[in-house]
Amino acid sequence: MSNVVHTRALVDLTSRPAIRSLVVAAIAFSAMLIFAASGIWLTREAGRIATIWVANAAIVSILLTQARELRVVILVSALLGNICANTLMGDAVTIALALSLCNLVEIVLVCVALQRLRPNVDFTALADLVPFAIVAGFIAPAVSALLAAIFLYTVKTASFLDVLETWFASDALGQLVFVPLFATLAEKGLTKDGIEPLVRPRALGWLLLNAAVAILIFAQDTMPLLYLGIPAVMLVAFRIGTTGAVIANLTMTVVAIGLTLAGHGPVHLMQGGLSEKMVTLQGFLAICVFVSLSISAYLADRQRLEARLVSTVSELEDANEAKSAFLSTVSHELRTPLTSIRGSLGLVNAGVTGQLPDKSANLIRIAHSNSERLVRLINDILDMEKIASGKMDFDIRPVALREIVQSAIETANNYEVEKKVKILLIDEAAHAVVHADADRLHQAITNLLSNAIKFSPQQGVVRVLLESMGDRAKISISDEGPGIPLAFQKRIFGKFEQADSSSTRQKNGTGLGLSITKSLIEQMSGTIDFVSSEGQGTTFTLSLPSIFKPSNEKIGLPSTGGRAVLACVIDGAIATLLHRQLLEQGYSSDQAPDMGSARLLLESRRYEAVIIDIDILGDQIIEFFDELRSSAQNADIPVTIISASVGKSKDILNGQAVGVIDWLAKPVDPAHLRHSLARLIGAQGPRRPRILHVEDDNDVVQVVAAGLGQDVDMVFAKSLSEARTALLEGDFDLVILDIVLPDGDGLDLLQELGTETKVIVFSAIDGNLTAPVHTILTKTRKSEADLAVCVRSLLAGKDADQRGKGAR
């Protein structure tokens, strides 16, 4: 064996072909001579249970590892060596020749078949190992054994089957164990790659363990421990790969054959004849070899794949790095000339250099707007690149959703101003605090708003709806545009995608906006979705993780429970103040900067109250209130008017029963505002009905109050004058009126009550009253309980046809 190990090194030294041939011939001859002689001794002398024919495997290995032109030399030398060995072991020359030729057939078959199948056989590759096992472990030994058996049967009348069996088993085992061993060692041999994995302490440990197991199995004579052998070689194959596997197999084979020949081991425990025992041992060794080599080849395949993946990944990383650097450089190089272009066009377009003729001005405007577009495109491309390469930093922290949306709306209000698109914010998530990067969320919302404006018709409306759903906050942005064509919907988040990709497309844009928006939102653990049908507009919905709780203890604000106030104010500071104060009192607020928005918002949502700046109403003030009061939903909605000159404004509305709750003078004082809001909506929770009970009998007052319970605000007046004072201080939903009062007739009050106030006359006078009141109850006929029922039904709005009936 060691001859072969050194073959390569030795042959490499001999550069001259003649000498080289001679050396190879000598090695082949002596290998054949030694291995064949020992093999013959094993099969004939030492009993036939344990046989292995190494000689053929040695020659196959030499052939596989040497140059093709040396084949004939090797084969002839091997043949001669074989004849010599047989002759030495006592065979006649003719028999020696014939048996040697049988071996030669096997050697040639293995080599030819292998090199046909795989030019360079690699025993660490599964693809090579399988054909090798079939040819060298089965076909070639079978052919060789058949020829030998026929020859010996005819010439020496030996048992045909015995020869066939012994020859096949020993040759097949020899090929399976030794060809991979020799080839692997010849390939890696004494090189660093070959030795290093073996000399590590762990590797040596595994090899020693394998040797110990082999000895344990074959040195004892009591237990059938063969099964321990397979896991032992498998372990080595797993841990040290092919080189380890061939050495483990060699160890196992040598120990098994040696100790079996010495009369030990589990094979001797078997019942049955020689041939069964031989098949068992040979089969065991063949399986050890096949299993361990398969495992190591499979692992080697995986390792090669991993190495390829690793190198591919690192190549890709390099390429990506280069791409980033390239983009960064290019965008920088583009920015410098663009600074001059944008600057020049901006200045000329703004008229800094004087007025241009119309045609030129138009051309400059086109050039200017396109240079602006180019700037956006470069910024978008850089953003895209930063997101793709994971270089965009996100500073995720809790942020108030409303503030970001408000600021994005302010930014978007500057887009395409000439289109007069209105952006309405409907806030149903007043306290929503989302986990997000404020700047990136602003960018994402601004992108969507800009898109919505871009596709809106002239004077269209973009609705922004904020909603809270458990631990998510939703932002929906709807436009009244043409909708997204069905065919384009699938590609909408792609890069450089625009529905109208023709060269004459109408919409300026980079086609990167939605793709960037999606990436930004997803990086913040959010989702983006859209609903659209052609001609019906489009709604994009963002969903973000939020820390909203129905009653948000963290910020100490009461739940709004969906209650909202509409604030139509111009001044941003007042708007902010209002929003904050309303939140404190448990109301969310939507803001309308103009009449149109106010109308749209009043249509789209139920509000508890309206605060409106008289400057927004302008000369439409009467019209606005007419509209408001004639709508079913808002007929009795409380209104506060903010005005610079309250007195004058009151005059304008004089005689109009519009139900203004309160007036606020400009400039608005925060304390006054708070006070007014409290009056407008009640200090907490849903507005409690306010009832004025005008009654001079204290007992009646107490009984009625007890009957009405705790959830109404009762104000009592014992006289007409007290009642008048109460009415000046605030509005009432309902008045319970006694007619006979110390200082006059209760009915006199009726003129001073607004039309919104419901009136119940509760009096001892049993007369035919024609006063315009809702209900008349006569004290002697109706109890206080009846009164309470009547109050409840009136407050609930069921005042129809009550009028006058109670009197009879």
Partner 1 sequence: MKLLYIDDDDDIREIAELSLAIDPEYRIWTAASGREGLDLAAAIRPDVILLDVMMPEMDGPETFAALAQEEDLRAIPVVFVTARTQNHQVAELQSLGAAGVIQKPFDPLSLAEQVRGCLADNFGC
Amino acid at 545: P
CA distance 195 to 198: 5
Looking at the Cβ atoms of 386 and 679, the one nearer to partner 1 is 386
Spell out the alpha helix ranges (H) of 135-273.
Answer: 140-156, 160-188, 192-199, 201-219, 229-261
Q: How far is the CB of 330 from partner 1 (least distance, A)?
A: 11
Contact indicator for 52, 4 with CB cutoff of 8 Å: no
Looking at the Cβ atoms of 344 and 559, the one nearer to partner 1 is 344
Bridge-partner residues for 715, per DSSP? 692
Give the per-residue contact string, 528-557, with partner 1 (x = CB under 8 A; - = no).
------------------------------
Contact range with partner 1 by CB under 8 A, out of 315-323, 374-382, 592-600, 705-713: 374-382
Of the residues 189, 346, 545, 561, which one makes contact with partner 1 according to CB under 8 A: 346
Looking at the Cβ atoms of 201 and 390, the one nearer to partner 1 is 390
Angle, alpha carbons 543-549-551 (nearest 5°): 145
Q: Does residue 375 bind partner 1 (CB under 8 A)?
A: yes
Q: Does residue 699 bind partner 1 (CB under 8 A)?
A: no
Q: What are phi and psi of 271, to 5 degrees?
A: -85, 165
Looking at the Cβ atoms of 344 and 407, the one nearer to partner 1 is 344
Q: How many residues sit close enough to partner 1 to count as binding (CB under 8 A)?
A: 22
Whose structure tokens read 């026929």?
Answer: 150
Site for partner 1 in 383-402 (CB under 8 A): 386, 393
C-alpha torsion sign, points 51, 55, 58, 63: negative
Q: How far is the CB of 298 from partner 1 (least distance, A)?
A: 46
Of the residues 154, 303, 311, 340, which one makes contact with partner 1 according to CB under 8 A: 340
Looking at the Cβ atoms of 18 and 417, the one nearer to partner 1 is 417
At a CB cut-off of 8 Å and minimum separation 6, what does 111 contact? 60, 63, 64, 71
Bridge-partner residues for 776, per DSSP? 761
Of the residues 195, 350, 555, 683, which one makes contact with partner 1 according to CB under 8 A: 350
Q: Does residue 679 bind partner 1 (CB under 8 A)?
A: no
Q: How far is the CB of 518 from partner 1 (least distance, A)?
A: 21
DSSP per residue, 41-91:
IIIIIS-SSS----HHHHHHHHHHHS-GGGHHHHHHHHHHHHHHHHHHTT-
Q: Does residue 744 bind partner 1 (CB under 8 A)?
A: no
Contact range with partner 1 by CB under 8 A, out of 35-43, 379-387, 565-573, 762-770: 379-387
Contact indicator for 123, 133 with CB cutoff of 8 Å: no
DSSP per residue, 391-456:
------EEEEHHHHHHHHHHHHTTTTGGG--EEEEEES-TT-EEEE-HHHHHHHHHHHHHHHHHHS
Pair of tokens at residue 207: 């090899």
Q: Does residue 376 bind partner 1 (CB under 8 A)?
A: no
Q: How far is the CB of 333 from partner 1 (least distance, A)?
A: 8
Q: How far is CA 479 from CA 415, 448, 453, 538, 602, in A?
A: 15, 10, 7, 6, 18
CA distance 209 to 28: 34
Looking at the Cβ atoms of 195 and 350, the one nearer to partner 1 is 350
Site for partner 1 in 217-256 (CB under 8 A): none
Q: How far is the CB of 340 from partner 1 (least distance, A)?
A: 4
Q: How far is the CB of 375 from partner 1 (least distance, A)?
A: 6
E strand or H helix that includes residue 694: strand 690-694
Give the per-residue contact string, 114-143, with partner 1 (x = CB under 8 A; - = no).
------------------------------
Pair of tokens at residue 53: 């024919």
Contact indicator for 404, 397 with CB cutoff of 8 Å: no
Q: How far is the CB of 363 from partner 1 (least distance, A)?
A: 18
Residue 719's SS3 state is coil
Of the residues 156, 200, 304, 332, which one makes contact with partner 1 according to CB under 8 A: 332
Phi-psi region of 113 (alpha: psi -120 to 50; beta: other; left: phi over 0): alpha
Q: How far is the CB of 407 from partner 1 (least distance, A)?
A: 17
CA distance 386 to 381: 9
Looking at the Cβ atoms of 334 and 795, the one nearer to partner 1 is 334
Of the residues 205, 343, 670, 709, which one makes contact with partner 1 according to CB under 8 A: 343
Contact range with partner 1 by CB under 8 A, out of 186-194, 348-356, 463-471, 486-494: 348-356
Q: What does DSSP assign to residue 744?
A: E
Looking at the Cβ atoms of 264 and 342, the one nearer to partner 1 is 342
Contact indicator for 728, 770 with CB cutoff of 8 Å: no
To 10 degrees, what angle do helices 160-188 and 140-156 make? 140
Of the residues 15, 222, 271, 336, which one makes contact with partner 1 according to CB under 8 A: 336
Looking at the Cβ atoms of 368 and 629, the one nearer to partner 1 is 368
Q: Does residue 352 bind partner 1 (CB under 8 A)?
A: yes
CA distance 570 to 578: 12
Site for partner 1 in 300-329 (CB under 8 A): 328
Of the residues 120, 159, 312, 339, which one makes contact with partner 1 according to CB under 8 A: 339
Q: How far is CA 358 from CA 363, 364, 652, in A?
A: 9, 10, 47
Q: How far is the CB of 373 from partner 1 (least distance, A)?
A: 12
Q: What does DSSP assign to residue 478?
A: E
Of the residues 76, 209, 338, 396, which one makes contact with partner 1 according to CB under 8 A: 338
Q: How far is the CB of 571 from partner 1 (least distance, A)?
A: 23
Of the residues 71, 118, 264, 335, which one makes contact with partner 1 according to CB under 8 A: 335
E strands within 483-555? 527-532, 538-545
CA distance 619 to 629: 17
Looking at the Cβ atoms of 328 and 541, the one nearer to partner 1 is 328
Of the residues 382, 404, 681, 761, which one makes contact with partner 1 according to CB under 8 A: 382
Looking at the Cβ atoms of 336 and 751, the one nearer to partner 1 is 336
Contact range with partner 1 by CB under 8 A, out of 346-354, 444-452, 562-570, 656-664: 346-354
Q: How far is the CB of 371 from partner 1 (least distance, A)?
A: 8
Q: Does residue 687 bind partner 1 (CB under 8 A)?
A: no
Question: Of the candidates 159, 109, 98, 167, which has an alpha carbon nearest to the alpha carbon of residue 136?
Answer: 109
CA count, 13 A, side-chain hemisphere, 122: 11
Q: How far is the CB of 372 from partner 1 (least distance, A)?
A: 9
Contact range with partner 1 by CB under 8 A, out of 24-32, 73-81, 331-339, 686-694: 331-339
Q: How far is CA 773 from the centre of its chain?
A: 66
Q: Does residue 342 bind partner 1 (CB under 8 A)?
A: yes
Residue 215's SS3 state is helix
At a CB cut-off of 8 Å and minimum separation 6, what does 177 contact? 52, 57, 249, 250, 253, 285, 289
Classify residue 328 by burial, with Cβ atoms within 10 Å: 0-12, 13-18, 19+: middle
CA distance 520 to 606: 34
Whose structure tokens read 């001579």?
Answer: 33
Looking at the Cβ atoms of 323 and 672, the one nearer to partner 1 is 323
Q: Does residue 365 bind partner 1 (CB under 8 A)?
A: no
Contact range with partner 1 by CB under 8 A, out of 72-80, 345-353, 553-561, 781-789: 345-353
Q: Does residue 410 bind partner 1 (CB under 8 A)?
A: no
Site for partner 1 in 646-675 (CB under 8 A): none
Looking at the Cβ atoms of 413 and 793, the one nearer to partner 1 is 413
Binding region for partner 1 (CB under 8 A): 328, 332, 335-336, 338-344, 346-347, 350, 352-353, 371, 375, 379, 382, 386, 393
